[in-house]
Amino acid sequence: MDRLLIEGRAVLKGELRASGAKNSALKMFAAALLADEPVTISNVPHLRDITTMIELLVSLGVEVVIDEKMNIEIHANTIKSFKAPYELVKTMRASFNVLGPLLAHYGQAEVSLPGGCAIGPRPVDQHLRGLEALGAKIEMVDGYVNATTDGGLKGGHVYFDFSTVGGTEHIMMAACLADGVTVMENCAREPEIVDLADFLNKMGAKVEGAGTDTITITGVPSMHGCSHRVIADRVETGTYLIAAAATGGKIKIRDANPEHLEVVISKLREAGAKITTDGSTIELDMEGRRPKAVSLVTAPYPGFPTDLQAQIIALNSVAEGISTITETIFENRFMHVQEMNRMGAKIRLEGNNTTAIVEGVPHLTGAPVMANDLRASVSLVIAGLVAEGDTIVDRIYHIDRGYEQVEEKLQNLGANIRRVASE
């Protein structure tokens, strides 16, 4: 099992290109099951989660063609199976989203209940209730969701009990081939949902209102092929901006979308960063200064993303002042705190472990640390960059799920970081 070895006290300087959004691409792979013709998806990041999703499609009999630039062509009309096995679904929640498209297009699906990061319960009940509102018949058998329809899905009214990105995307996909009009209320508003809606509409769907809390889908009899370029990954972009700010550095990120990061940019300016944006470029300059502590509460988009909470705690751990970070999206998402405290951070948890109080220290001290989930793991990398001495980050397969070429990108920014095999 690989580890990352980081020599600390790096100052990140240079340029990099933002990767395509993993969370957009994964859902588009599922949506490709709706089409009667091949679809091509470009700007796809080369990640473990992407590979897992491709393996899942191939296991269904779907033809997947990948070129040297990671353009992915998916031919769903070669499908032979409607069962998504536990071995693949357990490693990544997004794979559960093949359920709706399979059901909508072929009238049947058998999909394992999902796995993924250990960041508290993320139930799929909103997904299942939404599909039932469209006429799906659902049974739970041996850890699998068995879904069928009686003559296809029908348009209906779906109200989500809370903002759910996966649920919104899942029902939006399924409703595209439902007979009639579907109205979804209390929808999530993330940019990845808008990207998926654009992709569906290119395939011939009629989706309106994506990016608002009410989405209306008028069902169509069939969907055709198309080509689509995935949007930039706002979480990856935000991670590198925060890393540069924590180290007092200066970076330029190309092919990004500043509009998707307005709240993050605002917080980094509060931390003392000078940030300019120009079209698809974001430049950050700390001018060598130590960051100032910033407090925040995570919230659904357009609020501060939960997926950048661990990274901002890493910044606050070496910032001037005391900060309060409150997590409202997922429980059990402060697993990085214990590891950072082992590196000399002064962080305590309050309010049933939903709030972190961070007292900034001049620097951390390198130590062996262990990753527990995708975002927590990359926050430990940031902590290693600002620490005195060497840090070893173990269990980095979590990082490989969501960050493309992380050590190469950081090396290009001046970090002394390399991948080493476990002893």
Which of the residues are catalytic? 117
* H or E segment to which residue 17 belongs: strand 13-17
Radius of gyration of the chain (CA): 22
Kindly give, in sequence order, each residue whose CB lies less than 8 Å from that of residue 307, ignoring residues fewer than 6 positions away.
235, 375
* H or E segment to which residue 130 belongs: helix 125-133
Kindly give, in sequence order, each residue whose CB lies less than 8 Å from that of residue 114, ignoring residues fewer than 6 positions away.
89, 90, 92, 93, 95, 96, 124
Beta bridge partner(s), residue 420: 3
Beta bridge partner(s), residue 183: 157, 216
| DSSP for 314-329, written as a single string | HHHHTSBSEEEEE--S
Q: Are strands 368-370 and 355-359 parallel, antiparallel or unpaired?
A: unpaired
Determine whether 106 is exposed, middle or buried from the number of CB atoms within 10 Å of its CB (0-12, 13-18, 19+).
Answer: middle
Nearest to 243 by CA among 383, 144, 138, 114: 383
DSSP state at residue 36: S
d(CA 133, CA 153): 9
Residues in the chain, overall count: 423
Distances (CA, A) of 176 to 111, 129, 171: 20, 17, 9
List, edge to edge, every strand of the sheet that includes 355-359. Answer: 296-297, 322-326, 355-359, 346-350
The answer, yes or no, to whether the previous bond of 302 is cis (omega within 30 of 0) is yes
CB neighbourhood size of 120 (10 A): 11
Beta bridge partner(s), residue 356: 325, 349
Task: Write out the two tokens for 323.
Answer: 């900060």
- The angle at the Cα of 15, spanning 11 to 16, to the nearest 5 degrees, equals 110
d(CA 97, CA 173): 9
Task: Write out the two tokens for 116.
Answer: 């993924």
